[in-house]
Amino acid sequence: MGTRYTTTSASGYNATPPSDDGSSTDANKIKWSTIKTKLSDVLKTFSEAIDTKLVNWADLGPIAKTSAYTVTAAEHLQTIECTGTFTVTLGAAASLGAGFTVTVKNISTGIITVDGNGSELLDASTTIDIAQNQFVILQVNQAADGWLVLTTLTAQFTKGSDVASASTLALGSEGNYFDVTGTTPIAAITYSGAGKLVKLHFDGALTLTHHATNLVLPGGANITTAAGDEAEFIEYASGDWRLTNYSEYAGRRGMTLLDHQTASASSEIDFAISLFSLKITLKKSIFFNASFEDVWV
C-alpha cells in the first residue's frame, strides 16, 4: 500500500551459455526445457515482481485510523484518515528514506497529534496538532534525519466542552474553542501541545493574571474580563501560553475613561484611561476660549 518503488533484478538466467561448436549434438539442440528454465521462467518471475511493486506503489487510497498509530513504509504517498483524539507517530526517517511522503488528515472533532520518531523534528517542532478538517503533508528531508512540513495549517476552531475557571485552567482535548465559566482568576493553562492555538470565550468577569512564562499578557498587565469577551492564546512552549489576540464583546469599548471631570478655563484635569487594564494617566493643561467652543492641549 503506497510502498516506494525499488529496483527489481532478474536472476536465474544463464549468463554464460555453453559454446556451440556447430556439431549436431544434444547439447547444442534448442529444447523447450532449457528455454523455460533459463528464459521463460526468469522473465515471468521478473515481470510479476515489477507488477506487484507497481500495484503497491500506485495504491494511494486513504487508510482509516481511530487510535494511536505508527506510520510505516507502506504508507508512502497515502493519506491517513483519523477519527478521534490520539497520536500518529512517524516512522524513523532513516528507515523510511529521503522523499518518503505521507498526509495526515483529521476528519473528526478531536485533536490529532503528529509526533516524530524520538527527537526527530517536523520542521522546527517536535509535534503538530491537527484540528477538525485540517491536514498536514510531511516528507522525509534529504538528510533522512527529520521531516519537512509541506503545508501550512490555518487557524480553525472546533468547539469543545465548557471549562470551569481555575487558577490553572484545564482545557479539554476535544477542541480548541472553549467557553470559560465561573469567576476564579486564571494564572496558567494546562499543557496541550506546543504550537496549539486556542480561543476562550468568557461567560463572566474574572482576572487573567500575567506571568513571565506561564501566561504572558501584553505589557505584563493583568486583564479583567467581562461576559462575552474572547481571547486567543498560543502555547509557545510546553505549558507556557502567550495572549495573541483579545476582543471585547460588542457592548464594551476598548478604551474606557475611568475619571471624567468638569473643567473651567485654564484648569488641569487628570484622566485615567483603561486599555485591557493597562492604566495610563494623562495630565495636560487644557485652555478654553470664552465660548468653550475651542480647546488647546
Instruction: Classify the C-alpha dihedral 203-209-212-217 as positive or negative.
Output: positive
Q: Is the distance from CB of 158 to CB of 109 less than 8 angstroms? A: yes
Assess if residue 181 is contained within a domain: yes
131 plus 174 within the same structural domain: no
> Are 82 and 144 contained in the same domain?
yes
Task: Give the tens place of pLDDT for each residue, 103-143.
Answer: 999 998 788 999 999 999 999 888 888 877 889 999 999 99
Q: What dihedral angle (degrees, nearest 10) is formed by the CA atoms of 124, 128, 131, 136?
A: 80
Structural domain includes residue 91: yes
At which of 83, 117, 149 does a domain end? 149
pLDDT digits (tens, 9 = 90+) for 18-62: 666 666 777 666 676 766 777 778 788 888 888 777 766 666 789
Task: Say whether both 221 and 266 belong to one domain.
Answer: no
143 located within any domain: yes
Q: What are phi and psi of 287, to 5 degrees?
A: -115, 135
67 with 142, same domain? yes
Q: Is residue 137 part of a domain?
A: yes
Q: How many domains does the chain have?
A: 3
Asked if residue 132 and residue 96 are part of one domain, the reply reads yes
Q: Are residues 94 and 169 in the same domain?
A: no
What SS3 state is found at 214?
coil
Identify the domain containing residue 198 by its residue range: 163-226+233-242
Indicate whether 142 and 168 sit together in one domain: no
Q: Are residues 212 and 172 in the same domain?
A: yes
Q: What CATH number does the domain containing 77 carry?
A: 2.60.120
What are the pLDDT digits (tens) for 150-204? 986 666 677 888 999 999 999 877 778 999 999 999 999 997 766 778 999 999 9
- Point out the domain boundary residue: 123, 149, 175: 149
Which residues contact residue 254 at a Cβ distance below 8 angstroms, ignoring those fewer than 6 apart? 248, 275, 276
